[in-house]
Amino acid sequence: MEFFNGFSWAVPKVFSDAIANCKFEEGDILYNSQSAYKEWEKALESIRYCIKVKFPRRTLRVTKGKSETVPLANWNSEVKIELKKFFDESPIQLIKTTQGRLFSVLWKGDLEILNEDKPDPSPPLFLKNIKKQLKETVSECEKIANKRPYFIMAHDPTNEVSLQKHLRIFPALSNNFGCELFQLTPEDSGFKSWEKIFPVICINLYIIDKGGYNDILKTLKKVLYNPSKGTTKDSFRLSTHGILKLEQS
């Protein structure tokens, strides 16, 4: 079983829609440790907590990551959970809280976030928020690229648009120029406010073996630019997607 990076709790990738929309539903069960998804008897030695969602009722989930307005709209919505502690015999707690507080517990690992006396946690920074700060990653990316051309793009695997971009970019660069992919955490890539960034977001660093700026730009434009039908004006701007840097002397 595969798990998302960036969370303190074990969050399997089958919860992709729940993460993308910040909406957990009835029947969702989460554990603080990945060992819960292995042999159960051995898992009991390391599991400390389990959360089972009781409300809202399960619905047909929205296609993941169509808009960042969806998780923001769900952030303060109500959720009821059962919290079970495996390390003592205390009764299961039924807690009414918000989707944002539940998400933050999975992210940060602090159960005190569920305490209503604590301040409401702020939503994370999504792709739209961090694109303007992407230049903060250039210094670290240059070290890895080691004087080779590269393209940087923030990537959210739970966001369908972002996922499709990556699935087009990597083969296009590989087939035309040769390309090596590095996926960096926001912290490792040099973001100043990395701890506020949506936990599944990574920085895709595409290191390109060869090629001139215009040829690389043309290839990127081909896979990234999707103008509306009937549009005659070329409005493509690479800066809305990422940063392209040529070989450093």
**Amino acid, single-letter form, for residue 118:** K
User: Considering 50, 83, 114, which residue would you say is the last residue of a domain?
Assistant: 114
Which of the four pLDDT bands, split at 50, 70 and 90, describes residue 11?
very high
Residues 93 and 156 in one domain: no
User: Of 109, 79, 125, 83, nearest to 9 (Cα)?
Assistant: 109
- 166 in the same domain as 108: no
Global pTM reads 0.91
Using DSSP, state whether 111 is helix, strand or coil.
helix
What number is the average pLDDT over the span 226-234?
Answer: 79
E strands present in the chain: 29-31, 49-55, 78-85, 93-98, 150-155, 179-184, 202-208, 243-245
Using the predicted structure, report yes or no on whether residue 63 has a pLDDT greater than 70.
no
Q: Is there a single domain that holds both residue 140 and residue 178?
A: yes
Residue 102 lies in a domain: yes
In which band, very low, low, confident or very high, does the pLDDT at 249 lie, cut at 50, 70 and 90?
A: very low
Q: What is the pLDDT of residues 197-219, one digit of tens each?
A: 999 999 999 999 999 999 999 99
Contact assessment for residue 148 and residue 220, using Cβ atoms and an 8 Å cutoff: no
pLDDT score for 44: 86
- Could you tell me how far CA 165 lies from the centroid of its own chain? 15
**In the Cβ-directed half-sphere of 189, how many Cα atoms lie within 13 Å?**
26
Domain hosting 201: range is 127-245
Single residue among 114, 149, 179 that ends a domain in this structure: 114
User: Which tens digits make up the pLDDT trace of 148-184?
Assistant: 999 999 999 999 999 999 999 999 999 999 999 999 9
| Domain co-membership, 161 together with 199 | yes
pLDDT band at 45 (very low <50, low <70, confident <90, very high): confident
Rounded distance between C-alpha atoms, residue 75 and residue 182, angstroms? 31
43 and 94 together in one domain: yes
Residue 230 has pLDDT above 80, yes or no: no
